Chain A
Amino acid sequence: MYRMASIIKTESLVKDFDGLRAVDNLNLEVEERTIFGFLGPNGAGKTTTINILCTLLRPTSGRAFINGYDCVKDAHRVRSSIGIVFQDTTLDKDLTAYENLLFHAYLYGLKREESKKRIEELLQFMDLYDRKDEPVKRFSGGMKRRLEVARGLMHYPKVLFLDEPTLGLDPQSRAGLWEHIVRLPESHNVTVFMTTHYMDEAEVCNRMAIIDHGRIIAEGTPEELKRMVGGDVVYLRAKDNKMAKEILKERIIADIEERNGEIFVHGVKGDVCIPEIIRILGEQVLSVRLQRPTLNDVFLKLTGRQIREGSPEDEFKESIRSYRRRFDRT
């Protein structure tokens, strides 16, 4: 038994699939009651890592702990400590929303009275209460996802895994689901471990790791990661750009260029730099805008690739997934 502040911990985790190293020497620690984002392109090893953490796969070497329990030796206790929303939906589409949750309650040995209360409370929380007696096959993709999150929370898990929770959803359902997810650590006292492709989703994580080819290539808060690419860019227009540029060059230590009628100030802390610029140039300034680096810039810098290169293969995989999600066994 292993005890310390981190609710999820891996030590040199490795998983090989005949010849292919899907997870490569992974060391992770996740603090309790936070949202941890696991970001990476297709085939990076995100799902494989989750499968090891949730006891469905045995690691080739290395160890993983959830809530202090070893994922191999103490699988039973790990299973009691986690809830999970898999990448592809795992609801029974012939059963109603209520029945799916009730099945889960029995499976996890909840008491009858308690499970009834819990189901109603979670259906309310996920805004699904009105549809509780409809078979899941009539649900939209977003509703199915929300139901799965509700199901994953039924048994008061310590950790909730979300594997690409918003994949294949339209922007509105994405936002709807997202709104619920960000509240979970507070509202349901749970640590969220989620994988995603979407950069904007990663922004709200307390901490995140970027994984590529099974290896973690960067880890930190979203802010820290973005600082890695070298700070913000301030775009500035002045009455006389030439003169403004010269003045700024004397007073501010930063890369300054002029292009297309705009002055660029690179690699600064935008929120400090803008007041400074205005103090220096005063009336001269016509407009100022600030561009913060995105996580996409981080990924680009670290790997030389966009996180979604959009190779035909990936798009194909993607379209099959969303197809299946929609037409899964009617």
Chain B
Amino acid sequence: MIELKVVYVIVMRELIKFFREKSKLVSTMARPLIWLFFVGMGMSRLVPQDITGTDYMRFLFPGIIGMTILFSAIFSSISIIWDKEFGFLKEILVAPVSRFSIVLGKALSGTLLSSLQAMLIMIVSPLIGIYPEMGQIAGSVLVIIVLSFCISALGIIIASFYESLESFSMIMNFIVMPMFFLSGAMYPLKKLPLVLKYAATLNPLTYGIDGLRHILIPHGMLDFPFYLDIFVLLSTSAVFLFLSTYVFERGK
């Protein structure tokens, strides 16, 4: 059962909190830009074009959009841990609302916030020589939204296993950073050692970034067919949504 009012108010709360804290917006936007320009410029001298299929900065760009989504979607969802720690989650849990509505509200907040940030990053694309047409923009936005939803739902699953804020650095170091490095964001999967390559194929972010590359730099180095990217993203999103409802209900 979905209670629209509940979904709506949970999303509104996250939006209000996010925009009230301007420094949060600045810092989450700064990270991808720093990576794009500082890491990207440094690496572009080292990586020959035949490996990435295009100039390195352009190759990196979809990866940076993926990074923006990864960080902001996970942060948004693990605010559930904050809500546990500061008690607010109890206020939600004693209310006569279905757990699915709560989870959906959280997942949609993460989707909205991280899509928004990813789209803001899209604006700088001309600076690195990507000039998307209307169709490309629309396609990217769709992939961005699906990927954001998928990662947000994953974030809720992660949050269900932790009780307190101390787990934050655990999640950063053992889940978020490995997911970023094993996603093909910074280097083509083809060049990875076999074990890592397999690990990367289990990472939904890999397919999101590959999907964005299909749209934004179709002549660059691609790992999977586009339809596979979309299929994996949609199916993992559905699975994660139901899994997150399940673990959320059980874990509280």
**A: which residues have CB within 8 A of B?**
54-56, 76-77, 79-80, 82, 84, 86, 88-95, 99, 102-104, 106-109, 151, 328-329
Is A76 within 8 A of B90, CB to CB?
no
Is B96 within 8 A of A77, CB to CB?
yes
Is A106 within 8 A of B86, CB to CB?
no
Query: Chain B's nearest CB lies how many Å from the CB of A118?
Result: 15
Query: From B5, which residue of chain A is reached at the shortest CB distance?
Result: A106
A89–B94 Cα distance when bound, in Å, is 14
Query: From A109, which residue of chain B is reached at the shortest CB distance?
Result: B5
Query: Chain B's nearest CB lies how many Å from the CB of A89?
Result: 6
A-B complex: 4 closest residue pairs judged by Cβ atoms: A106-B9, A90-B87, A79-B96, A80-B96
A174–B83 Cα distance when bound, in Å, is 27
Is B88 within 8 A of A92, CB to CB?
yes
| Residue among B6, B8, B13, B97 making CB contact with A92, cutoff 8 Å | B13
Q: Which residues of B contact A329 (CB under 8 A)?
A: 82, 86
Q: Which residues of A contact B82 (CB under 8 A)?
A: 329
State the total of A-B contacts with C-beta under 8 angstroms: 64
Q: Is B22 an interface residue (CB 8 A)?
A: no
Query: Chain B's nearest CB lies how many Å from the CB of A42?
Result: 19
Q: Is B197 an interface residue (CB 8 A)?
A: no
**B: which residues have CB within 8 A of A?**
3, 5-6, 8-9, 13, 16-17, 20-21, 82, 86-97, 252
Is A107 within 8 A of B9, CB to CB?
yes
A109–B8 Cα distance when bound, in Å, is 11
Known: A106-B6, A107-B6. A90 touches B90 (CB 8 A): yes
Q: Which residues of A contact B21 (CB under 8 A)?
A: 94
| Residue among A80, A86, A94, A151 making CB contact with B17, cutoff 8 Å | A94
Known: A92-B13, A103-B13, A109-B3. A76 touches B88 (CB 8 A): no
Q: Which residues of A contact B87 (CB under 8 A)?
A: 86, 88-90
Is A108 within 8 A of B88, CB to CB?
no
Is B90 within 8 A of A56, CB to CB?
yes
| Residue among A89, A99, A107 making CB contact with B16, cutoff 8 Å | A99
A167–B95 Cα distance when bound, in Å, is 24
A104–B88 Cα distance when bound, in Å, is 11
Is B86 within 8 A of A84, CB to CB?
no
Known: A106-B5, A106-B8. A95 touches B90 (CB 8 A): no
Query: From B93, which residue of chain A is reached at the shortest CB distance?
Result: A56
Query: Chain B's nearest CB lies how many Å from the CB of A137?
Result: 11
| Residue among A76, A88, A91, A94 making CB contact with B96, cutoff 8 Å | A76
A187–B215 Cα distance when bound, in Å, is 63
Is A79 within 8 A of B91, CB to CB?
no
Known: A90-B88, A106-B9. A84 touches B94 (CB 8 A): yes
Query: From B21, which residue of chain A is reached at the shortest CB distance?
Result: A94
Is A107 within 8 A of B95, CB to CB?
yes
Q: Which residues of B contact A56 (CB under 8 A)?
A: 90, 93-94, 252
Q: With A93-B86, A329-B86 given, name 12 new contacts (CB 8 A).
A: A54-B94, A76-B96, A86-B90, A90-B88, A91-B88, A94-B21, A95-B16, A99-B13, A106-B6, A107-B97, A108-B96, A109-B6
A55–B92 Cα distance when bound, in Å, is 12
Q: Which residues of A contact B6 (CB under 8 A)?
A: 106-107, 109
A54–B13 Cα distance when bound, in Å, is 24
Is A104 within 8 A of B91, CB to CB?
yes
Query: Chain A's nearest CB lies how many Å from the CB of B42?
Result: 38
21 contacts between A and B (CB under 8 A): A54-B94, A55-B94, A56-B90, A56-B93, A79-B95, A82-B94, A88-B87, A89-B87, A90-B88, A90-B89, A90-B90, A91-B91, A93-B86, A94-B21, A95-B17, A99-B13, A102-B9, A103-B13, A108-B96, A151-B91, A329-B86
A329–B79 Cα distance when bound, in Å, is 13
Q: Which residues of A contact B13 (CB under 8 A)?
A: 92, 95, 99, 103
Is B95 within 8 A of A90, CB to CB?
no
A109–B82 Cα distance when bound, in Å, is 25
A219–B219 Cα distance when bound, in Å, is 80
A104–B89 Cα distance when bound, in Å, is 12
Q: Which residues of B contact A106 (CB under 8 A)?
A: 5-6, 8-9
| Residue among A79, A94, A95 making CB contact with B94, cutoff 8 Å | A79
A82–B94 Cα distance when bound, in Å, is 9
Query: Chain B's nearest CB lies how many Å from the CB of A172?
Result: 25
Q: Which residues of A contact B93 (CB under 8 A)?
A: 56
Is B9 within 8 A of A103, CB to CB?
yes
Q: Which residues of B contact A76 (CB under 8 A)?
A: 96
Q: Which residues of B contact A151 (CB under 8 A)?
A: 91
Q: Which residues of A contact B3 (CB under 8 A)?
A: 109
